[in-house]
Structures are given as C-alpha cells and as structure tokens.
C-alpha cells in the first residue's frame, strides 16, 4: 500500500548533514507519523509520498524545504551584564530564552567576551542541505 494523505507510516531513518550523522532512529523505536499532517519537515514528507512497506530511499532535502535559511533577526547581542553571573555561557553553549510571545526557545552562543554575548536563535540545521536514508516499515490506511 503506497503512502498517501492520512496514511499512518512507521519508518526508520538516518539523517546526515554532509557526511556527519546528525540523528537516527533506534531499531526498537522507529518514527511514526500521519502523512499530510505536517509533523515532518516539508521536503521529507513530500518525498515519502508514494513509497510503500519495505521501500528504502535516500532523500535529499534542501534548506527551503527543511529549516529554512538563517535569519539575521534571530541573532542577538546581549550585554554580558544582563547574563546571570552564575550562568556558564561560552561559545557553543545552548541558552534557553522566552520569545516576546512567551514561548520557550533555545539559542547557541556564537561569541562571548567580557562585554557581550552573541546568541543565534536560528534552528541549528537552518541553511543546511539534509540527507535522509529511510526505510518504510509499515503503512496503514
């Protein structure tokens, strides 16, 4: 049965950025989603359409169909004085914050000195072309 809108799909994947393995499912914990409900990045969900049980495929997803391109407005420079003294903030640190709307988000410190801390709140995979190796395990409906 091919994957179509409304299909419940169980699949395993390995996700790469370049040659770097970013994420993968565990054999005992495959991913389950419903096609067409938008729970996967757009490019992956589109490419899954039409596959069937047992299908194995390499899927390339460009940034515009994944996490988009980095946006300069999501990079902020904060005076070091505004950072709690007990916070261990250094280049590469992941920092939680709240948006003006009150939603939680996480940024990555890209620069830190005695005066300022620069934090990038773009998704860590923004601007990256992604490569998925997928195997469809089950398709229902």
Structural contact between residues 116 and 79, judged by C-beta atoms closer than 8 angstroms: yes
User: How far apart, in Å, are the Cα atoms of 94 and each of 15, 19, 58, 87?
Assistant: 21, 23, 31, 11
Of the two residues 100 and 22, the one the predictor is more confident about is 22
For residues 83 and 115, state if they share a domain.
yes
Q: Are 46 and 113 contained in the same domain? A: no
In the structure, what pLDDT confidence band is assigned to residue 86 with cuts at 50, 70 and 90?
Answer: confident
Say whether both 61 and 88 belong to one domain.
no
The reply to whether 28 falls in a domain is yes
- Provide the pLDDT confidence category of residue 87 given band limits of 50, 70 and 90: confident
Average pLDDT score over the chain: 95
Domain with residue 109: its CATH number is 2.40.10.330
Task: Please check whether residue 53 lies inside any domain of the structure.
Answer: yes
Residue 98 has pLDDT above 90, yes or no: no
Query: Does 1 reside within a domain?
Result: no
**Can you say whether the dihedral through the CA atoms of 75, 76, 80, 85 is positive or negative?**
negative
For residue 2, tell me if it sits in a domain: no
Question: In 37-86, where do the E strands start and end?
Answer: 56-61, 75-79
Domain count, the chain: 2
Assigned domain for 3 exists: no
Looking at the fold, whether 14 and 38 belong to one and the same domain comes out as yes
120: helix, strand or coil: strand
- 112 lies in which domain range? 72-120
Which residues are paired to 131 by β-bridges?
16, 60
């Amino acid at each position: 049965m091919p994957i179509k809108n409304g299909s419940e799909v169980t699949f395993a994947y390995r996700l790469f950025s370049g040659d770097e393995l970013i994420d993968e499912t565990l054999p005992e914990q495959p991913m389950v989603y419903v096609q067409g409900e938008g729970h996967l990045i757009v490019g992956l969900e589109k490419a899954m359409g039409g596959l069937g049980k047992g299908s194995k495929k390499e899927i390339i997803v460009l940034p515009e169909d994944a996490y988009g391109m980095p946006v300069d407005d999501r990079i902020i420079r904060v005076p070091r004085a505004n950072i709690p003294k007990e916070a261990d903030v250094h280049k590469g640190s992941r920092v939680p914050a709240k948006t003006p709307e009150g939603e939680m988000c996480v940024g990555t410190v890209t620069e830190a000195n005695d005066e300022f801390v620069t934090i990038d709140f773009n998704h860590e995979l923004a601007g990256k072309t992604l490569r998925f190796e997928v195997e469809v395990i089950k398709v229902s409906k």
